[in-house]
């Protein structure tokens, strides 16, 4: 239930301008997730959501970019990311896949079912094909420095 709820929260944040916890709580209820304010606070913390001002100066929840200490590890070692079905395949420099995989595992992403790293390749099993497509796109933007 927690993973499904947190995945739903990420989808809500991506699709809506959510300015406060009450709004998020209402959107979750409409999608079949009756939750308390304490649960929402915990989910926000676990998902590392932050509030950021848009162009009009209105603050709303966003999914943060990769934290700075990890950004260099990813941009320096991830060569490509692509997906097929529910699986994202991440190609890395030789010997770096396990370190990159650890970083990806530490960024709470409930849409990731699990990861498996070899020497230069990571497989990430996603909950849906749409999640796989989005995750591969996000990784591509990170390695392109955008």
Claim to verify: residue 51 and residue 82 sit in the same structural domain: no
- Give the pLDDT of residue 144: 75
pLDDT tens digits, 47-81: 778 888 888 888 999 877 655 445 567 778 899 99
Angle at 120 between CA 117 and CA 89, to 5 degrees: 65
Range of the domain at 139: 68-143
Q: Which of 99, 88, 91, 98 is nearest to 129 (CA)?
A: 88
CATH number at residue 109: 3.30.1360.40
pLDDT tens digits, 16-28: 999 999 999 999 9
- Give the pLDDT of residue 90: 96
Claim to verify: residue 98 and residue 112 sit in the same structural domain: yes
Q: Which residues of 94-111 are buried (b: 16+ CB within 10 A; e: fewer)?
A: eebbeebbebbeeeebbb
- Give the pLDDT of residue 71: 57
Tell me if 111 sits within 8 A of 127, measured CB to CB. yes
pTM: 0.57
pLDDT tens digits, 1-16: 777 888 888 889 989 9
């Amino acid at each position: 239930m927690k993973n499904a709820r947190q995945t739903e929260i990420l989808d809500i944040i991506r699709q809506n301008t959510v300015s406060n916890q009450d709004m998020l709580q209402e959107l979750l209820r409409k999608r079949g997730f009756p939750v308390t304010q304490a649960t929402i606070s915990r989910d926000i913390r676990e998902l590392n959501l932050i509030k950021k001002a848009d162009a009009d100066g209105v603050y709303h929840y966003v999914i943060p970019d990769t934290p700075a200490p990890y950004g260099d590890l990813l941009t320096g070692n991830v060569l490509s990311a692509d997906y097929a079905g529910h699986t994202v395949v991440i190609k890395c420099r030789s010997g770096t896949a396990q370190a990159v995989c650890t970083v990806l595992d530490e960024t709470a992403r409930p849409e990731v079912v699990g990861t498996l790293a070899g020497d230069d390749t990571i497989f990430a099993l996603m909950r849906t094909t749409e999640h796989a497509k989005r995750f591969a796109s996000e990784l591509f933007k990170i390695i392109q420095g955008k």
